[in-house]
């Protein structure tokens, strides 16, 4: 099935589809619960805290005034769709790491999103040069259903780690499973190793 649906791709593109995945040209919307809001709500902020030397709290205007960058990357959902050459803009994670200075004991990061959705990743996942706080997609403001005004983007991992409606990054020294991880999904979530489940 996967191979069949990848038929329209060039060989170069096929090599970018991880095992067990198929390509989609639309952009599926996938989340638990409802889209929490369609505009930036009053009092919205983003916090970076926990095992860091300099915690951050930014309101929306402050976030948008930070240095920004664009990335083009492939994204992979564990439900088996992949999308090539997606274009994002936002704050590079390298800027965040530089600003907060994680403590050496910080091993994991918990992404906190609206409605209690969380995702945990090893700190090294943030060192992906394409990792960012994303607020624009394909030349426009990130749509509410895709996580606007702000989502995490960690494209090296299955997309459930890329929390939409992101509100905080918490650096921790003891790992704790997030929403999908508690349901048996992988901590490390590398699509190229097919790390779908924890067992």
Ligand X SMILES: Nc1nc2c(c(=O)[nH]1)N[C@H]1C(S)=C(S)[C@@H](COP(=O)(O)O)O[C@H]1N2
User: Which residues here bind ligand X, judged by CB under 6 A?
Assistant: 27-32, 77, 113, 117, 146-147, 159-160, 162-165
Question: Least distance from C-beta 26 to ligand X, angstroms?
Answer: 10
Residue 77 touches Mo ion, criterion: CB under 5 A:
yes
CA–CA separation, 148 vs 113, rounded Å?
11
Radius of gyration from C-alpha coordinates of the chain: 16
Query: DSSP assignment, residue 189?
Result: -
Task: Classify the phi-psi angles of 101: left when phi > 0, otherwise alpha if psi is within -120 to 50, otherwise beta.
Answer: left
Encoded tokens for 16: 């970018």
Nearer Cβ to Mo ion (42/116): 116
CA–CA separation, 199 vs 195, rounded Å?
9
What count of residues does the chain have?
199
Question: Least distance from C-beta 49 to Mo ion, angstroms?
Answer: 26
* Of residues 108-147, those binding Mo ion (CB under 5 A): none
Nearer Cβ to ligand X (79/103): 79
CA 13 to chain centre: 22
User: Of 8-16, 40-48, 77-85, 188-196, which segment contacts Mo ion by CB under 5 A?
Assistant: 77-85
User: Of 58-66, 86-94, 149-157, 158-166, which segment contacts Mo ion by CB under 5 A?
Assistant: 158-166
Question: Least distance from C-beta 9 to ligand X, angstroms?
Answer: 20
CA–CA separation, 112 vs 7, rounded Å?
38
The residue with tokens 């702000």 is: 150
9 contacts which partner out of ligand X, Mo ion, none, CB within 5 to 8 A by kind?
none
Nearer Cβ to ligand X (37/65): 37
Residue 24 touches Mo ion, criterion: CB under 5 A:
no
Question: Least distance from C-beta 148 to ligand X, angstroms?
Answer: 10
Nearer Cβ to Mo ion (57/192): 192
H or E element that contains 122: strand 118-122
């Amino acid at each position: 099935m996967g191979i069949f649906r990848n038929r329209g791709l060039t060989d170069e593109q096929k090599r970018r589809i991880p095992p067990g995945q198929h390509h989609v040209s639309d952009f599926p919307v996938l989340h638990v619960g409802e889209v929490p809001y369609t505009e930036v709500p009053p009092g919205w902020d983003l916090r970076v805290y926990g095992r860091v030397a300099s915690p951050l709290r930014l309101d929306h205007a402050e976030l948008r005034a930070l240095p920004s960058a664009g990335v083009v990357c492939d994204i992979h959902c564990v439900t088996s769709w992949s999308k090539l050459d997606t274009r994002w803009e936002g704050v590079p994670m390298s800027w965040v790491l530089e600003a907060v200075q994680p403590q050496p004991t910080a091993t994991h990061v918990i992404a906190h999103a609206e409605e209690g959705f969380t995702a945990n990743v090893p700190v090294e996942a943030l060192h992906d040069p394409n990792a960012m706080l994303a607020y624009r997609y394909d030349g426009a403001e990130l749509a509410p259903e895709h996580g606007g005004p702000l989502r995490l983007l960690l494209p090296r991992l299955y997309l459930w780690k890329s929390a939409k409606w992101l509100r905080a990054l918490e650096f921790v020294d003891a790992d704790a499973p997030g929403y999908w991880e508690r349901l048996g999904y992988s901590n490390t979530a590398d699509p190229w190793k097919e790390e779908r489940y924890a067992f």
